[in-house]
Amino acid sequence: MILHQISPYIRVAMDNIVEGEWVIHERVLFDYELLYIMEGKVIAIIEDTVYEGERGDIFLFRPGQKHKIVKMEGGRFRQPHIHFDFFYNPDSDKVKVSFRPLEEISSEEAKWFRDDIIDEMPVPLSSHLRLKNPILIEKMMMDIIYEYETKMPYYEFKVKGLFIQLWIQLLRENYWSLNPHLETNMHALMQVKQYLMHNTNRKVSLEEIAKLSGISKHYLVRLFQKAFGMSPIQFHQLMRVYAARHMIQFTTDPLSIIAEKMGFSGIHAFSRFFKTVEGTSPSFYRRKS
> For residue 267, which phi and psi values (nearest 5 degrees)?
-65, -35
Residues 171, 192, single domain; the answer is no
Domain that holds residue 254: 181-288
Q: How confident is the model over 147-202, as pLDDT tens digits? A: 999 999 999 999 999 999 999 999 888 888 888 888 889 999 999 999 999 999 99
Comparing C-alpha atoms, which of 74, 73, 95 is closest to residue 84? 95
Among residues of the chain, what percentage have pLDDT more than 90? Answer: 82
Residues 39, 133, single domain; the answer is yes
Residues 107, 155, single domain; the answer is yes
289, pLDDT greater than 60? no
Residues 39, 153, single domain; the answer is yes
Task: Give CA–CA dist 72/166, Å, rounded.
Answer: 27
Residues 131, 196, single domain; the answer is no
Residue ranges of alpha helices (H) inside the chain are 134-150, 155-178, 180-197, 206-213, 217-228, 232-250, 255-261, 267-278, 282-288
Q: How confident is the model over 90-136, as pLDDT tens digits? A: 999 999 999 999 999 999 999 999 999 999 888 778 899 999 889 99
Q: How many domains does the chain have?
A: 2
Residues 165, 250, single domain; the answer is no
Comparing C-alpha atoms, which of 114, 134, 139 is closest to residue 54? 134
Residue 39 bridge partners (DSSP): 78
Residues 170, 37, single domain; the answer is yes
Domain's final residue, options 178, 213, 246:
178
CA angle (252, 257, 259) in 5-degree steps: 115
Residues 120, 215, single domain; the answer is no
> For residue 157, which phi and psi values (nearest 5 degrees)?
-75, -35
Q: What CA–CA distances, in Å, run from 108 to 89, 105, 256, 287?
A: 16, 8, 70, 60
- Name the pTM for this structure: 0.77
CATH number at residue 73: 2.60.120.280
Task: Give CA–CA dist 192/227, Å, rounded.
Answer: 12
DSSP state of 199: -
Which residues, at least 6 apart from 226, have a Cβ–Cβ distance to it below 8 Å? Answer: 179, 182
The pLDDT score that the predictor gives to residue 286 is 84
183, amino acid identity: E
Domain's final residue, options 178, 206, 234:
178
Q: Can you state the angle between helices 206-213 and 232-250, rounded to 10 degrees?
A: 110
Residues 144, 214, single domain; the answer is no
Contact 173, 140 (CB under 8 A): no
2, pLDDT greater than 80? no
The pLDDT score that the predictor gives to residue 1 is 56
Comparing C-alpha atoms, which of 176, 181, 175, 204 is closest to residue 192? 204
Domain's final residue, options 146, 178, 210:
178
Residues 99, 220, single domain; the answer is no
The pLDDT score that the predictor gives to residue 3 is 77
Count Cβ neighbours within 10 Å for each residue of 73-84 and write b for 16 or more, e otherwise: eeeebebbbbbb
Q: Strand, helix or coil at 71?
A: strand
The pLDDT score that the predictor gives to residue 106 is 95
Residues 103, 130, single domain; the answer is yes
The pLDDT score that the predictor gives to residue 253 is 93
Task: Give CA–CA dist 169/52, Å, rounded.
Answer: 22
206, pLDDT greater than 50? yes
Residues 31, 80, single domain; the answer is yes
Q: What is the overall mean pLDDT for the chain?
A: 93
Q: How confident is the model over 250-282, as pLDDT tens digits? A: 999 999 999 999 999 999 999 999 999 999 999
Comparing C-alpha atoms, which of 56, 55, 61 is closest to residue 75? 55
